[in-house]
Amino acid sequence: MHIPFYTADVFTNATFGGAQVAVVTESDQLSDQQMQQIAQELNLWSTVFLNHEDSQNTYSLRMFTPEKEIDFGSHATLAAAQVLASTGKAKVSDASSPIIFRHKTGDIDVHVTRQQDDYLATFSLTTQPVVDNYVPSNEELASLLSIDSKMIGIKDFKPLLVANKGVYIVVPIYYREQLEAAVFDRAAWNHSLAPNTLAQQIILFSPQTEQPGADFHLRLLSPTGYSATPPPIGSAIPAFSAYLCAHDHIQKGTYSFIAERGSSNTRRSLLHVEVDNKGSDQLTIRIGGTGVVVCEGNMRLS
C-alpha cells in the first residue's frame, strides 16, 4: 500500500521557514497504530491525517506528534488547508473559501484566500481562559530559566498563569537576546513553586523582534523538552492572547498583533492574530498565516 503525503512550511512565505508539518491527504485505510508509526517515521513536529467527507471541502482531521496523538494545533490545521488549496484538492476562489476540518474537539472552519502565488489561511476559535497571579517569584523564574532576575518584567506586563487547554506560565523578558539565551533548569523547577501551578509549558515573550512589523517575539520552554529547537507556538497563542487581554492597557474591542517565533537562522514564523477583547471571560481569536508546500511523496507500507 502506498500512502501519498506532503510537507508544508507554515506561518511563512519562504521555503525552509516557519513550522514543518506533514499532511497525509488520504488516511481512511490507516489504523491508529499506522498513523502513529508514520508520524514517528517522518519525525516532524506534527503529522496531519485527513479524510474527505461527503460534503465539499469538509475533512475529518487527526494530528500526531512523533510521541502521541494531540487534539489541536494551529500550525497543523493551517498546513492541512495550505496543502489542500495548493494542490487543488479543495476548491478555493480568489474570495475567501471555507475548508471545514472536523477535529475530535469540534469543527474548525479555515478560510483560505488566494493572494497571487500564496494562500492566506485563517481560522477563529472561542475560548474561556482562566488567568491567575499564582506564579513563582521573579527570582525563582530566573533560576529555572538560567537568566538574571533583572531581565524579567516589562513595563505594564508581569508574569501570570494562564489555563487554556493546558496551563502556561507567561513570562515577559525585555531583551530578545536574553529570551533566546534562557535554558530550562529542571532542578530549579522542582524546587520552585512552579510544579504546584500545574503548568506544563512556559511562554517567554519580548517586545523586541527581529522582523520589522512583528509585535512580540515568543518562545516556548517545557519541563518535558523544548530547550534547544524552537517549537511551534500556534497552540500557545490562545493562552498568550488571554494573557495580553488580562492587562488594562491592552486595547478593548479588536486587538491585533503579529507574533514572531524563531529567527532568520532558525525557521522564523509570523502568526497574525486578532482578538475580540470585550473585557469578558470569553475571547474570540482569529489566527492566520501563509505557507509553502515543500515536498510531495509516497510512503510504502508493507
Closest CA to 136 of 185, 209, 81: 185
* φ, ψ at 86 (rounded to 5°): -70, -30
Pairing of strands 97-103, 58-64: parallel
* Statement: residue 224 has pLDDT above 80: no
Confidence band (pLDDT; 50, 70, 90) for 275?
very high
Confidence of residue 138 (pLDDT cuts 50, 70, 90): very high
Least confident of 30-34, 50-54, 122-126, 182-186: 50-54
Q: What pLDDT sits at residue 227?
A: 46
Please report which confidence band the pLDDT of residue 229 belongs to, taking 50, 70 and 90 as the band edges: low
Q: Is the pLDDT of residue 165 over 90?
A: no
Task: Give the mean pLDDT of the chain.
Answer: 90
DSSP sequence for the chain: -EEEEEEEEES-SSTT-SEEEEEES--TT--HHHHHHHHHHH-SSEEEEEEE-SSTTEEEEEEE-SS-EES--HHHHHHHHHHHHHTTSS---SS-EEEEEEETTEEEEEEEEEETTEEEEEEEEEE--EEE-----HHHHHHHHTS-GGGB-BTTB--EEEESSSEEEEEEBS-HHHHHH----HHHHHTSSHHHHT--EEEEEES--SSTT--EEEEEEBTTB-SSSPPP-GGGHHHHHHHHHTSTTSPSEEEEEEEEES-TTTT-EEEEEEEEE-SSS-EEEEEEE-EEEEEEEEEE--
pLDDT value, residue 88: 87
- The set of residues, in sequence order, having a beta carbon less than 8 Å from that of 150 and lying 6+ positions away, is none
Using one digit for the tens of pLDDT, what is the confidence trace for 12-28?
A: 988 898 999 999 999 98
CB neighbour burial string for 60-99, b if at least 16 within 10 angstroms, e if fewer: bbbbbbbeeeeebbbbbbbbbbbbbbbeebbebeeeebeb
Instruction: Please state whether the predicted TM-score (pTM) of the whole model is above 0.85.
Output: yes
Q: How far apart are CA 136 and CA 198, in angstroms?
A: 12
Cβ–Cβ < 8 Å for 259, 240: yes
Calculate mean pLDDT across residues 144-155.
92
Confidence band for 215, pLDDT divided at 50, 70 and 90: very high
Rounded Cα distance between 206 and 196, Å, is 25
Cβ neighbours for 33, distance < 8 A, ≥ 6 positions apart: none
C-alpha cell recorded at residue 184: 530550562
Instruction: Give percent above pLDDT 70 in the chain.
Output: 97
pLDDT > 80? residue 94: no
Mean pLDDT (whole number) for 218-242: 82
Query: In this model, does residue 130 exceed pLDDT 90?
Result: yes
pLDDT for the residue 226: 52
CB distance 258 to 270 below 8 Å: yes
For residue 130, give the nearest of 157, 156, 165 by alpha carbon. Answer: 165
